[in-house]
Structure formats: C-alpha cells, structure tokens
C-alpha cells in the first residue's frame, strides 16, 4: 500500500490524477493501479471525471511519533518498543513474536496497526477491521507468576480503557463481563488476553485491545451484534491520542499487577458494570443458566443469583447475555 499516496489523500479533499502522480513520483497508470489497491483494502474512494479523487471524510492516519508525544512520563518509561504497522493479520500475533525475541523486564512491546486482516476477539470471533478507522492495539509484558497471577486482569484492563476514554470526553462507556466495553447494550470494544511461555512460571502476556472509533458505513454489514463507536459518543480524539491515553492507563497497571492483583480494581469494575442487578443468562456450550447478575468475586468470577443461590462462573467458554 502506497503510504505517500494515502498521506496526500488523507485530507479528504479532491486531488487530480496528475497531482497524485506528481506527489508520488510515478506515472498516471501506476497511480490508477495504486488507487485500485486502496479500494481493495476497503478505503472508500470517490472519483469524478475531470475533478479527481478523494477519500470520503478523509483519514486519521497513525504515526508512532504522535503516539509517543501523547504519553505521560510513567508510560514513556515503560515503553521498550512501539510499532505502527500499515496492515497485519493480527497485532496480538506480531506482539507475541516480538515478545519471544525481545522481551525485557518492565518494558512493554506495543504494536498497533492501521488494519488487521485476521483480527479476532474472544472465542475466535472475527473483529471487523476497516483501514485507519478503529484502534487495534496489543501490549506485551513479562510476568513471573504464570497464568495464576493473571486472574482478573482482563477486567482491570477494561477499567483502565474506560478511564482512558473518560479522559478524552467519552463518559458513556461501561463494562460487560468478562471483556467487553459497551455503551448500553451496544459494543464499543473488547479485550483479548493471550499467554505464551511457562504457564506456571515466567511467561509473556499479550493484551489485545480493540475499539470502534469512526466506523465507516461500508463496514457495518460485517458486524453481527449491536455496536457503537467513539465518534457516536460525541468525542472525536485522534486515534494517536486514544492509543496514548490507553497506554497511559494500561502500562502502569501492568507494572503493578503482580504486586496488587485484581482486588484494587474490583470496586471500580463493579461501578462500571452495565448489567449489575439485571436479569442475565450464562451460556456454557449448550447449557443456559438464568439469574440476576450480582457483580464479581475477588478473583474476577461473575456472580449470578439463581434459584440455587449465588453461583460464581469464570471465563473461558462462559458468556453472559442479557436476560428477559
């Protein structure tokens, strides 16, 4: 993908084919082929004879320098490596590979991308990833205590992401157990945590975070659930500002996690719980359990009041759905 061409078109204004060719230093024929590639990547181009080409609404392109400029001192000191990719299958996969090669204590590896071709959420669900419209972000961190030390981490990360959104003027975001960021019953984003290495000892955790920021109309048909995005909440931060704000909250959390665990985050999570004291269904494969959601236990398990009393359920293959 021609990044020079994208940077010219990102302003959303009309540009003639010749002006684009001159800016990129290529022929008109080459520019036409490159414009086709942009369309194949899902970028919405408009063309008018004798006027030129434009990207409808323009694009908010990501640059690592702009992310760095938004980091506070604490986050800056915890970033060992930060990459912004044009296109990748999964930022989590790239981050996992980087961690296996270059992981260092108390230093995060941060991977973001303009587009994911195989982004995924919990339970293998696909994540719709239009180019330069949303936040696709993965953070790799070394931990010493294995999987057991990470109980409740996805819930705490959810709190950190909501606080990052609040800093940017999004006051509507809440949380749905175990790893969804929602507004009402519409999904705004999600969290996917993956581990590599020794599950009982030193290992690497990769925290994948996705947020709908400015979802284009053409991408909406690929979404099979109610959704919303940051722009619909009345705030319009750049994606670089959004990523920096998320890192400002998430990186200190990761640094302190093995000493503090979930307990300091439990009350905050429950204050953001979108389904607290509401009827819900717990789905486990073909099994469905109805009850009333009563917040989370100290280890992050969801607590459901059923006809059999208060029951706790952990993540994995367990899902929560609204009841009636």
123 is catalytic: no
User: Would you say residue 304 has pLDDT above 70?
Assistant: yes
Q: What is the average pLDDT score of the chain?
A: 92
User: Would you say residue 212 has pLDDT above 90?
Assistant: yes
- The mean per-residue pLDDT over the stretch 8-17 comes to 95
Which single residue is written with the structure tokens 């063309």?
A: 47
Range of the domain at 299: 275-322
Q: Are residues 35 and 22 in the same domain?
A: yes
185 is catalytic: no
Q: Are residues 82 and 226 in the same domain?
A: yes
Domain CATH code at residue 295: 2.30.30.100
- The mean per-residue pLDDT over the stretch 79-99 comes to 96
Q: Are 186 and 246 in contact (CB under 8 A)?
A: no
Q: What is the pLDDT of residue 248?
A: 98
Q: Are residues 122 and 236 in the same domain?
A: yes
Least confident of 161-165, 302-306, 317-321: 317-321
Catalytic residue among 54, 93, 120, 122: 122
How many domains is the chain built from?
A: 3
Catalytic residue among 54, 133, 163, 187: 187
Which single residue is written with the structure tokens 């061409």?
A: 5
Q: What is the pLDDT of residue 250?
A: 98
Q: What's the pLDDT band for 223 if we cut at 50, 70, 90?
A: confident
276 is catalytic: no
User: Would you say residue 197 has pLDDT above 90?
Assistant: no
Report the C-alpha gap between 258 and 236 in whole angstroms: 34
Q: What is the pLDDT of residue 140?
A: 98
Displacement of CA 317 from its chain's centroid (Å)? 21
Displacement of CA 18 from its chain's centroid (Å)? 38
Domain CATH code at residue 22: 1.10.10.10
Q: Are residues 205 and 237 in the same domain?
A: yes
Q: Are residues 252 and 280 in the same domain?
A: no
User: Would you say residue 119 has pLDDT above 80?
Assistant: no
- The mean per-residue pLDDT over the stretch 58-64 comes to 95
Catalytic residue among 102, 123, 236, 321: 321
Q: Are residues 50 and 171 in the same domain?
A: no
Joined tokens for residue 228: 């919303």
Q: What is the pLDDT of residue 148?
A: 85
Q: Are residues 121 and 46 in the same domain?
A: no
Q: 239-266: per-residue pLDDT in tens?
A: 999 999 999 999 999 999 999 999 999 9
Q: Are residues 281 and 194 in the same domain?
A: no
Torsion of CA 246, 253, 82, 240, to 10 degrees: 10
Q: Are residues 185 and 297 in the same domain?
A: no
Q: Are residues 187 and 310 in the same domain?
A: no
Q: Are residues 166 and 115 in the same domain?
A: yes
């Amino acid at each position: 993908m021609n990044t020079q061409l994208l940077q010219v078109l990102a302003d959303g204004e009309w540009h003639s084919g010749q002006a684009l060719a001159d800016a990129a230093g290529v022929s008109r024929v080459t520019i036409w082929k490159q414009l086709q590639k942009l369309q194949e990547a899902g970028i919405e181009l408009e063309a008018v004879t004798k006027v030129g080409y434009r990207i409808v609404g323009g694009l908010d392109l990501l640059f690592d320098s702009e992310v760095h400029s938004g980091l506070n001192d604490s986050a800056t000191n915890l970033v060992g490596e930060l990459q912004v990719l044009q296109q990748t299958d999964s930022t989590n996969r790239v981050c996992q590979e980087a961690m296996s090669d270059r992981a260092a204590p108390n230093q995060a590896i941060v991977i973001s991308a303009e587009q994911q071709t195989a982004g995924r959420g919990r339970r293998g669900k696909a994540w719709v990833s239009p180019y330069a419209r949303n936040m696709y972000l993965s953070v790799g961190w070394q931990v010493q205590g294995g999987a057991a030390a990470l109980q409740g981490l996805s819930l705490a990360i959810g709190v950190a992401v909501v606080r990052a959104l609040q800093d940017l003027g999004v006051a509507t975001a809440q949380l749905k157990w175990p790893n969804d960021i929602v507004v009402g019953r519409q999904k705004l984003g999600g969290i996917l945590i993956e581990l590599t290495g020794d599950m009982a000892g030193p290992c690497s955790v990769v925290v994948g975070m996705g947020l709908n920021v400015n979802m284009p109309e053409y991408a909406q048909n690929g979404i099979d659930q109610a959704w919303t995005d940051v722009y619909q909440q009345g705030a319009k931060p750049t994606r670089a500002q959004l990523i920096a704000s998320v890192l400002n909250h998430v990186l200190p959390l990761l640094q302190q996690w093995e000493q503090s665990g979930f307990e300091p985050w439990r009350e905050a999570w429950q204050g953001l719980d979108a389904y607290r004291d509401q009827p819900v269904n717990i789905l486990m494969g073909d099994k469905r359990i109805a009850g009333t959601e009563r917040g989370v236990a100290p280890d992050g398990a969801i607590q459901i009041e059923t006809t059999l009393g208060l029951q706790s359920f952990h993540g994995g293959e367990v899902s929560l759905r609204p009841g009636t």
